Amino acid sequence: MKSKTEAIIISSMNLGEADKLVTFFSLDRGMLKGVARNARKSFRRFGAGLETFTISRLHLFEREHQELARIESTDIIEQHASICCDLDRSAVGAVMLELVREMAPLGERNAPAFLLLSHVLHLLDGREDPLFLLRIFEIKFLSLLGYQPKLDHCLSCGIRPKGEVIFLGMKGGMLCPDCMVSSGEPQIRLSQGAVGFYYHVLRMDMDKVCRLKPSPAIMQELDLAFSAHTFHILGKRLKSAEFLKIVLPLGH
Ligand SMILES: [Zn+2]
């Protein structure tokens, strides 16, 4: 059966002599994998349409009960050249794509998540601060997948604290300082500013979010909280996030 879909290329690796195995996040069917036969030889059919970060229209051929689609050809919708040739931007973009690859279920449509990734990649290709975009993406993307941390009331006593709170990555929520029993482990503290910023990002659309100017301290608090949160969801650290810490150590 032939079909076509708009998709963001998540990864593309060589397979055999001339083929490519491509993972892509599509608008109408979520995460999928496909094989592009002869992709390394046929520039006419594929061009740069299978490069990571590119948004392409993929022409697919699928058989029932076959896990991998066949990608017959591509038309480029939007290329992101500045991401690929800038180390900071490509390192940040790699974290976004790894989050999508690890968290979005195969074959499950999530149009808002597709539109979010496509919008954020468009901004990452411009002049917006890459680490700021990563924080925004994490907050909105996890929420669209149903993993939104609850930071508006204490998990234990239910109150809405006015000051600092302690984030619990394992529970995806927080405790007020009165309910926290110290275990000697380092705690992830979130200031009222960080919690406020988090809820602004959840509620606002992208154009308005980009006008916010959070302090570096807020960015860092949310970085620690979301690293802990994704670690507990996935049971592992993202490889690309470890690399990003080397590339952009100031933000961490
Ligand atoms: Zn409490």
SS3 of 28-65: the string is: CCEEEEEEECCCCCCHHHHCCCCCCCCEEEEEEECCCC
Asked whether the whole model's pTM tops 0.85, one would answer: yes
Q: Per-residue confidence at 249, pLDDT binned at 50, 70, 90?
A: confident
Mean confidence (pLDDT) of the chain = 92
Q: Is the pLDDT of residue 252 over 70?
A: no
CA of 191 to the centre of ligand 1 (A): 15
Which tokens in the block code for residue 160? 């809405």
Ligand 1 centroid vs 160 CA: distance in angstroms? 8
> Is residue 46 very low, low, confident or very high in pLDDT (cuts 50, 70, 90)?
confident
pLDDT band at 180 (very low <50, low <70, confident <90, very high): confident
Distance from Cα 176 to the centre of ligand 1, integer Å: 4
Crossing angle (nearest 10°) for helices 216-234 and 130-144: 40
Distance from the CA of 153 to the center of ligand 1, in angstroms? 8
Between the CA of 168 and the centroid of ligand 1 the distance, in Å, is 12
The alpha carbon of 151 and the centre of ligand 1 are apart by a number of angstroms equal to 12
What is the pLDDT at residue 250?
57
Q: How far is the CA of 136 from the centre of ligand 1 (A)?
A: 27
* Distance of alpha carbon 89 from alpha carbon 106, whole angstroms: 26
Beta bridge partners of 154: 174
Higher pLDDT, 44 or 241: 241
Give me ligand 1 centre to Cα 161, in Å. Answer: 8
For residue 65, what pLDDT is reported?
82
Q: Which tens digits make up the pLDDT trace of 48-60?
A: 899 999 999 999 9
Q: Is residue 154 helix, strand or coil?
A: strand
- For the cut 80, the answer to whether the pLDDT of residue 12 exceeds it is yes
Convert the pLDDT of each residue in 59-91 to its tens digit: 999 988 888 999 999 999 999 988 989 999 999
Please compute the mean of the pLDDT values over residues 101-108 and round it to a whole number.
Answer: 95
251 has a pLDDT exceeding 70: no
| pLDDT at res. 69 | 93
Per-residue pLDDT band for 145 (boundaries 50, 70, 90) equals very high
Say what the pLDDT of residue 36 is.
95
**CA–CA dist 249, 35 (Å, integer):** 37
CA of 149 to the centre of ligand 1 (A): 16
Q: How far does the centroid of ligand 1 lie from the alpha carbon of residue 174, in Å?
A: 8
Q: What is the mean pLDDT of residues 176-204?
A: 89
CA 75, chain centre distance (Å): 24
